A and B are shown apart, each in its own frame.
Chain A
């Protein structure tokens, strides 16, 4: 048997696989072997083919692609150094980058929608404007590397996409690109609002794309200086499913929303399957005999009566105060998807008052609108607008005493932070005692339960509480809890 390779392509591949594992992409040894076979089959000089080939061998679900791409760029970089193409930065006479001319160039490329040229420009921008030199401030970093592109001015200590984008400011070009596009239209006739809106959105998407190009180029250049391990640790975003609800940034949230939407469908199919298999009814004699006709009167296939589907009731109590806003949004998305599975579902929202909002969740309703509507309901906020679980439970038990019966599953969503008010444990245990099942989903990490004003431990004694921080956890918990 040959020695284990310590260097060379196989070792590099293993190294790459380990980086993927560190980012929660589960790659087994079998997949690594496949990936090696892929590398043997493909032309390694065709980078995009190698990327797709490795993705096909290593990935198992689509949500992992972003992480894979970011790591691929680090482990199989386009090249070392500036790697400049045909698009060059315009320089002023004193050797600094002519930002105005650069912006003209960028506006023109954005209007053309020339992706290849934009990529090259992004590389040039990072090289010329993104470098941070050791001694100088960032101001002269821009000019300094202009004269000494080949390293005469000393190697930069790092690259900053913030610095590069800050001097170009691509967002401010929107109006200009639109005007440019309009003037290209035939006959110069006035554009309709629709055409204008389409052009605006498309340009905005292109600008965002350019920002991404600059950022990934910065990561590539930065990794040459800091080493790719360090770059991978800080520069690669987590998969949406693994992201905390409470700490997700705006773009991750959008990504997360796209991932959560199909979860509801997944759960619905899983529930339907479980219900189908739950129990078979008695043998249906009439249909069994009927079917035995095709086998000469021998009853080969038994036919069972279909069990009558018992559709369970669900009551949902959601905290919609600011502290858990992200979380409640996702739960409601799931709930809306599951609506059809339940004969009766009632949704209540609370901050320090409590309102019923079931009527807002019509099929196909836009969740953003629903949430705005929820917050404008009178009664949701009774006093201060800070969440007060005790008062909300009081109000719920008093106003809708018949909502929870012995056929009901009760789901409470919230972080159990009462702002040091009375948690009204007695009221809640009364409600819980009446319900068939009761569960609490908490978006906070378990180790923070019971700290500060959190009454999670107290509530946890009344009803089982589940940590529910990420989309993956949410799907697991809800899938496990929902009654058949």
Chain B
């Protein structure tokens, strides 16, 4: 770990350093991924990762955390998530108990007491800011959250500080490495995007995917892996409802190993295609276009 000119600690030395260290923890990064991770770290900006499901967006955050031996704090967004779930909340029940237990005490003392650290429930965003150890903050599926939460994120990710009226402003002692993921079910606001570096994570090229399969499913013979990646590439070229992603490639490889198949002939493909294609209409289309009947 190094420090840059402004005294801030940085996690990586160079883009190549990112590649090697991520590879050590089992994440094979493309140039695009490695470069943006490096820059997000150096410039101290959050990284917004967009892309289809199953290309390894969440996995990237986990890998960065593991490679830099930082703690991973995860905020899973969903419809209706609010400040109380994302930032902090006062523990009402405990406060009431405290008030009831201190019958007869001065009001001032009680008031100061019930709004203290003890009654504060920290949620992921505040947790990440208060941590003193190196931290990776993952805001997962940002597009699922409502627009109001984006405003909250803007404030927090802008200067990494949170104001709790009763306690004062809490500023991050060191900026967490922040990663936001999005499946692009809706456009995130321009203001949020402007504060982030943007990475569109797409399906890897054949060469990289082959290496991914080899590292994740080492039992699979090399020739078979190559054939498998080739078929996946062709399937992605078809106009399917849900194109197979990297995780499906790995699943397929595992399936072949589990079934003990050593060649990928027509019967094997027909039997295991369901692992890769999740819609019936896609199965029908793939079988007819690739003459699998």
Q: Which residues of A contact B (CB under 8 A)?
A: 28, 30-31, 34, 37-38, 41-43, 46, 48-49, 52-53, 55-57, 59-62, 65, 113, 115, 192-198, 201-202, 205, 257, 262, 265-266, 269-270, 273, 294-296, 300, 364-366
Q: Specify the chain B residue showing the minimal Cβ separation from A300.
A: B92
Residue B190 CB within 8 A of the other chain: yes
Q: Give Cα distance in the complex from A46 to B289, angstroms.
A: 41
The B interface is mostly helix, strand or loop, or mixed, namely helix
Residues of B within 8 A of A201 (CB): 234, 237, 290
Q: Which residues of A contact B237 (CB under 8 A)?
A: 201, 205
| Contact assessment for A295 and B96 in the assembled complex, using a CB-CB cutoff below 8 Å | yes
B residues in contact with A34, CB < 8 Å: 43, 45, 197
Query: Can you give 30 contacting A-B residue pairs, CB < 8 Å?
Result: A38-B43, A46-B15, A49-B15, A49-B35, A52-B32, A53-B36, A55-B32, A55-B198, A56-B35, A56-B199, A62-B50, A62-B184, A62-B202, A192-B266, A194-B291, A194-B292, A197-B234, A197-B291, A198-B231, A198-B234, A201-B234, A202-B233, A202-B234, A266-B185, A269-B185, A269-B186, A270-B186, A364-B279, A365-B281, A366-B281
Separation of A43 and B14 alpha carbons in the complex (Å): 9
The answer, yes or no, to whether B131 is at the interface (CB within 8 Å) is no
Interface centre among A28, A34, A265, A273 (most CB of B within 10 A): A34
Question: Is the CB–CB distance between A38 and B39 below 8 Å?
Answer: yes
Instruction: State whether B31 touches A48 (Cβ < 8 A).
Output: yes
Interchain nearest-CB distance for B242 vs A (Å): 11
| B36 vs chain A, min Cβ distance (A) | 4
Min CB distance, A240 to chain B, in Å?
Answer: 14
Q: Kindly state the separation between the CA atoms of A296 and B265 in the bound complex, as whole angstroms.
A: 67
Known: A192-B265, A366-B281. 10 other contacts (CB 8 A): A41-B42, A42-B39, A49-B35, A56-B35, A56-B36, A60-B190, A61-B187, A61-B198, A198-B290, A296-B93
Residues of B within 8 A of A37 (CB): 43
Chain B CB count within 10 A is highest, among A28, A115, A194, for A194
Is B193 touching A60 in the complex (CB atoms < 8 A)? yes
Closest A residue to B287 by beta carbon equals A194
Q: Residues of A contacting B111 with CB < 8 Å?
A: none
Q: Which residues of B contact A198 (CB under 8 A)?
A: 230-231, 234, 290
Is the CB–CB distance between A56 and B198 below 8 Å?
yes
Interface residue tally of chain B, by bracket?
35 or more
What 10 A-B pairs have minimum CB-CB distances, sorted nearest first?
A193-B291, A364-B281, A62-B200, A52-B35, A52-B32, A56-B197, A56-B36, A296-B96, A60-B193, A201-B234
**Which of A28, A113, A266 meets B187, CB within 8 Å?**
A266
B residues near A266, Cβ cutoff 8 Å: 185-187
B8 at the interface (CB under 8 A from A): no
Give chain A residues whose Cβ lies under 8 Å from the Cβ of B51. 62
Provide the bound-state CA to CA distance between A192 and B270, in Å.
Answer: 13
Q: Which residues of B contact A (CB under 8 A)?
A: 14-15, 31-32, 34-36, 38-39, 42-43, 45, 47, 50-51, 92-93, 96, 100, 146, 184-187, 190, 193-194, 197-200, 202, 206-207, 230-231, 233-234, 237, 239, 241, 265-266, 269, 279-281, 285, 289-292
Chain A nearest CB from B45 CB (Å) reads 7
Q: Give the CA-CA distance A484 to B92 in the complex, in Å.
A: 37
Residues of A within 8 A of B100 (CB): 296
Hey, which chain A residues are within 8 Å of B31, CB to CB?
A: 48-49, 52
Q: Identify whether the interface residues of A are mostly helix, strand, loop, or mixed.
A: helix
- Taking CB atoms, residues of chain A closer than 8 Å to B50 are 61-62
CA distance A55 to B100 in the complex (A): 58
Given A56-B198, A194-B269, A194-B292, A262 and B15 touching (CB < 8 A)?
Answer: no
The chain A residue with its CB closest to the CB of B37 is A56
Chain A residue numbers with a CB within 8 Å of B38 are 41
Q: Which residues from B are CB-within-8-Å of A273?
A: 146
**Chain A residues within an 8 Å CB radius of B234:** 197-198, 201-202, 205
A-B pairs under 8 A by CB, number = 118
Residues of A within 8 A of B35 (CB): 42, 48-49, 52-53, 56
Taking the closest CB of chain B, its distance from the CB of A256, in whole angstroms, is 13
* Whole-angstrom CA separation of A43 from B265 in the bound complex: 46
A63 to B290: give the CA distance in the assembly, Å.
Answer: 29
Set of chain B residues within 8 Å of A257, measured between Cβ atoms: 239
B199 proximity list for chain A (CB < 8 A): 56
Q: Are B15 and A42 in contact (CB under 8 A)?
A: yes
- Which of A31, A56, A269, A270 is B39 in contact with, Cβ under 8 Å? A56
Q: Which residues of A contact B184 (CB under 8 A)?
A: 62, 262
- Least distance between B80 CB and chain A CB atoms (Å): 9
Chain A's closest residue to B42 (CB) is A41
Closest Cβ–Cβ distance, residue B261 to chain A (whole Å): 15
Q: Which residues of A contact B233 (CB under 8 A)?
A: 202, 205
Q: Which of A31, A195, A196, A295 contacts B92 (CB 8 A)?
A: A295
A294 and B93 contacting across the interface, CB-CB below 8 Å: yes
Given contacts A194-B291, A198-B231, contact A366 B269 (CB under 8 A): no
Shortest beta-carbon distance from A55 to chain B in Å: 8
Q: How far is the CA of A52 from the CA of B198 in the complex (A)?
A: 10
Closest A residue to B270 using CB positions = A194
Question: Bound complex: CA of A43 vs CA of B50, how far in Å?
Answer: 25
Bound Cα distance A52, B96 (Å): 54
How many whole Å from B271's CB to the nearest CB in chain A?
13
Tell me the complex Cα distance, A194–B263, Å. Answer: 14
Bound: A342/B15 CA distance, A:
50
Closest to A293 in B: B93
Partner of A31, one of B36, B43, B194, B279: B194
CB-CB < 8 A to B197: which residues of A?
A: 34, 56-57
Assess whether A197 is in contact with B290, with CB atoms less than 8 Å apart: yes
Most B-side CB within 10 Å, residue of A28, A197, A300 = A197
Who on chain A is nearest to B282 by CB? A364
Residues of chain A contacted by B231 (CB below 8 angstroms): 198
Return chain B residues, CB-CB under 8 Å to A41: 38-39, 42-43
Chain B residues within 8 Å of A31, by CB? 194
Residues of chain B contacted by A265 (CB below 8 angstroms): 185
| Residue of B whose beta carbon sits closest to that of A46 | B15
Contacting residues, chain B, for A56 (C-beta < 8 A): 32, 35-36, 39, 47, 197-199
